[in-house]
Amino acid sequence: MNKRPEIDRRQFIKTSALLGGGLLLACHLPFGRGYAEAASDVSFAPNAYLHIGQDDSVTVIVNKSEMGQGVYTSLPMLVAEELCCDWKNVTFRASPVAPEYNHAEFGPIMVTGGSSSVRSEWSRLSLAGAAARELLVAAAAEEWQIDPATCRAEKGFVISSSGARLSYGKLAARAAQLPVPKEPKLKSGKSNILGTAVKRLDSPAKINGRAIFGIDVHAPGMLTVVIARPPVFGAKIVNFNADKARALPGVRSVTAVEAGVAVAADDFWQALKGRDLLEITWDEGMWGGISTPAMREQYAALALTPGLIARKDGDAPAVLAAHPGRIEALFELPYLAHAPMEPLNCFVDLKGDSCLIRTGSQFQTVDRAAAAKVTGLKPEQIVFETTFLGGGFGRRACTGSDFVIEAAQVAKALGTPVKVVRTREDDMRAGYYRPMWYDRVVACLDKKGYPLAWHHRIVGQSIIAGTPFESAIVKEGIDHTSVEGAVDTLYAIPNLQVELHSPKNGVPVLWWRSVGHSHTAFVMESFLDDLAHTTGKDPYKYRKTLLANHPRQLKVLQTAARKADWGKPLPKGRGRGIAVHQSFGSITAQVAEVSLDKTGAIRVHRVVCVVDCGRVVNPDTVTAQMESGIIFGLSATLYGAITLKNGRVEQDNFDSYPLVRMAAAPKIEVYIIDSQESPGGVGEPGVPPIAPAVANALFALSGTRVRTLPLTPENIRAAIKKA
């Protein structure tokens, strides 16, 4: 990944052109060379972000993938705010894959992730709306032969001081002929639409069934393909017999591909039945004996040895060595599956010199380049269409482009349009996972009972090592995504040392919703709770003291405590826990109320969530994403674990890898801090605090500190026995 260019936020307008009788406006960030410089160069018209039609329609071309997080509404809102259009005329269209749609911060790549969609596009799309508004005002002033300063834009019209009105649609053609303003000015004063609760633009299509997800794609002559995948990571085919499969009606082809044995049929069920009849002999290779208990032993041993230093303030080891009272804790977190509701799939139609790919991707540039390598085509010969995504959580932003590569390979082998579909079991047993983690933390306290020294060792696989992004992210052997949330803590700890071990094994790992924060928040907030209880201090007040120099974080914490009635008695049999964490530019605090049922299982009754995500586009989206993150994180907290035995993943569907269902979902209250800070993310920051909040509530209720996730009755009983 190339270094991000330093770009003046005003210098983004690339080109304008007349398209379909309307105004087409493009935004451009000048990555590299080879792009037209002149604003009059209309050859880059496909790079447009905004089209205003003669029918007054406003279409925003969105360069982010919609996977439930609301970007097909929030990003058009950024344009609409500055355009001063009528929201009822606004619609959206998914962008093609082109340099003009590259991520505004991450370099020359089109990607959706890191809770960065609104943060990265705020300036670019706001300026696009402002530029279009200025063009429309100028066009109206030219029509009326008056000074543009005497005109204003309002709800899709340009209005003169005398009261004359022209709609944007009437002005679009004239506006398209005018020179694009070099430095469009953002409007000042009260917002038109930002900060208001707006219904999502994509909801109607999802309600009436018109929305096309990747798994819905169909084409004439298309074959549906399922692949028999290795039972062990890295296993290879020795031989296979497909006679029974080929004899089934509807089965058209059985072919060995890199991913396994591909069975192509007229429909999904015929392909699946054919796959079930395959007889395959596998060479399981070097990872055939890998198991979770053996990895745990390896990780535990590493945690006792020095690792690479990721942060060093003061001299924590020396202070701890000289201090008579040391507090030590070990934390274990398992592998986790992404488990999106829509399993992975990809449609490929490969012709002689062109290729059409339709799939739900978070990583379009990387996926298209991978397909180009397989097919032998140039990337620009591949039309890559992004469908709706039935969940992603990072899985559809795979650095290895596995689900796209295998579909391209099958299409190349068969010479016909194909849609490769993974079953739920395929997705869970042969996918990518959030790494397993093992942490050892040792601390000592000062005379007032606050942390004097904190020595933290983290053990877990790197999700970046061996990927194309290693050189940009891994520095001096340290993958920052492994330690984020620990190295950037704001708690006042004078002697802090964070170390990292990154062992390697055959389990494929990948970013998972909230990435490193998904494990470091649990460790940091659980252990801090330990320290508070050790000194007899209130856990909320303890955090409040340690965050005294950080007013923004303090406000979030205090608001959460107040809204959750912290300090007030709870009904008998309930406990309350608190956690606060900063990630992706946002601060989130959560308070959980829990009880234990007769089986020893945790029931979460209430979660109070307070978030400061800076300036807000759509509060409904923020609330929905906090709720989503809490349920997603709670599923992992209470149930989630991918374990291995004899090289095989033991979980394969939602019966063995449960999610929180409606009957078990807590009451969730979300409160948004009114903030004028730069926009932060909302898709991921709701996940990290829920696990420690629940674990801390469990301790408050039972006196049992469980440091192994998930918080199952078995792990709770094991913690009680160990204590």
CA distance 105 to 83: 24
pLDDT at res. 34 = 25
pLDDT at res. 9 = 29
CB 255, CB 410: distance < 8 Å: yes
DSSP string, 392-438: -TTTTS-TT-HHHHHHHHHHHHH-S-EEEE--HHHHHHSS-EEPPEE
Buried b (16+ CB within 10 A) or exposed e, 214-241: bbbbeeeebbbbbbbbbbbbbbebeebe
Buried b (16+ CB within 10 A) or exposed e, 317-334: bebbeebeeebebebbbb
**641: Cβ contacts below 8 Å, ≥ 6 apart:** 334, 335, 336, 651, 657, 709, 710
CA 121 to chain centre: 16
Q: Which two tokens stand for residue 688?
A: 């990290």
Q: Please identify which residue in the block is written with the tokens 């001299």.
A: 315
Lowest mean pLDDT among 42-56, 203-217, 349-363: 42-56
Scanning 451-498, the segments in alpha helix (DSSP H) are 470-473, 480-483
CA distance 499 to 478: 9
CA 397 to chain centre: 9
Q: Which two tokens stand for residue 662?
A: 């409606």
Tell me the pLDDT tens digit for each residue of 661-719: 999 999 999 999 999 999 999 999 999 999 999 999 999 999 999 999 999 999 999 99
pLDDT at res. 21 = 54
Give yes or no for residue 238 having a pLDDT over 50: yes
CB 612, CB 622: distance < 8 Å: no
pLDDT (average), residues 550-569: 98
pLDDT (average), residues 1-7: 33
Would you tell me how many other CB atoms lie within 10 Å of the CB of residue 494? 15
**101: Cβ contacts below 8 Å, ≥ 6 apart:** 47, 61, 63, 95, 110
> Which long-range CB contacts under 8 A does 443-449 form with residues at least 24 apart?
443/320, 443/326, 443/327, 443/328, 443/527, 443/531, 444/319, 444/320, 444/323, 444/325, 444/326, 444/327, 445/325, 445/327, 445/531, 445/534, 445/535, 449/531, 449/534, 449/535, 449/536, 449/537
CB 591, CB 607: distance < 8 Å: yes
Q: Which two tokens stand for residue 37?
A: 């410089």
CB 394, CB 421: distance < 8 Å: no
Lowest mean pLDDT among 169-173, 546-550, 671-675: 169-173
CB 49, CB 59: distance < 8 Å: no
Would you tell me how many other CB atoms lie within 10 Å of the CB of residue 203? 13
What is the CATH architecture assignment of 13-206?
2-Layer Sandwich (3.30)
Give yes or no for residue 405 having a pLDDT over 80: yes
Tally the residues of the chain: 723
pLDDT at res. 24 = 67
CB 434, CB 522: distance < 8 Å: no
From residue 690, alpha-carbon distances to 337, 482, 517 in Å are 18, 19, 11
Lowest mean pLDDT among 1-5, 510-514, 710-714: 1-5
Task: Output Rg (C-alpha) for the chain, integer angstroms.
Answer: 27
Between 20 and 22, name the one with better pLDDT. 22
Q: Which two tokens stand for residue 657?
A: 């890898």
From residue 395, alpha-carbon distances to 98, 145, 433 in Å are 22, 56, 8
What confidence category does residue 723 fall into, taking pLDDT thresholds of 50, 70 and 90?
confident
CB 223, CB 270: distance < 8 Å: no
CA distance 712 to 90: 47
pLDDT at res. 8 = 34
Which one, of 522, 626, 533, 524, lies nearest residue 575 by Cα? 533
Q: Please identify which residue in the block is written with the tokens 């959460």.
A: 560
Dihedral sign (CA 485, 657, 589, 566): negative
Give yes or no for residue 93 having a pLDDT over 60: yes
Which one, of 636, 662, 621, lies nearest residue 196 by Cα? 621
Tell me the pLDDT tens digit for each residue of 301-340: 999 999 999 999 999 999 999 999 999 999 999 999 999 9
- With left for phi above 0 and alpha for psi between -120 and 50, is residue 499 left, alpha or beta? beta
Q: Does domain 214-285+344-421 have CATH number 2.30.42.10?
A: no
CA distance 587 to 613: 7
pLDDT (average), residues 395-399: 96
| Residue 397: CA count within 13 A, CB half-sphere | 25
CATH of 292-335+433-722, one of 1.20.1440.230, 1.20.1070.10, 3.30.365.10, 3.40.50.2000: 3.30.365.10
| Residue 436: CA count within 13 A, CB half-sphere | 24
pTM summary value: 0.93
pLDDT at res. 33 = 21
Lowest mean pLDDT among 127-131, 402-406, 550-554, 602-606: 127-131
Q: Please identify which residue in the block is written with the tokens 């180009």.
A: 372
Across the strands, what pairs with 257? 260
CA distance 375 to 353: 9
From residue 188, alpha-carbon distances to 31, 81, 140, 250 in Å are 30, 11, 21, 63
pLDDT at res. 443 = 98
Residues above pLDDT 70, as percent of the chain: 93
Tell me the pLDDT tens digit for each residue of 110-163: 999 999 999 999 999 999 999 999 999 999 999 999 999 999 999 999 999 999
CB 534, CB 446: distance < 8 Å: no
CB 48, CB 124: distance < 8 Å: no
What confidence category does residue 25 fall into, taking pLDDT thresholds of 50, 70 and 90?
low
**166: Cβ contacts below 8 Å, ≥ 6 apart:** 140, 143, 157, 158
From residue 79, alpha-carbon distances to 16, 59, 82, 205 in Å are 16, 10, 6, 22
CA distance 362 to 355: 19
pLDDT at res. 181 = 87
pLDDT (average), residues 491-496: 98
Q: Which two tokens stand for residue 164?
A: 């004359």
How much is the mean pLDDT over the chain? Answer: 92
Query: CATH 3.30.365.10 residue ranges in the chain?
Result: 13-206, 214-285+344-421, 292-335+433-722
Give yes or no for residue 27 having a pLDDT over 70: no
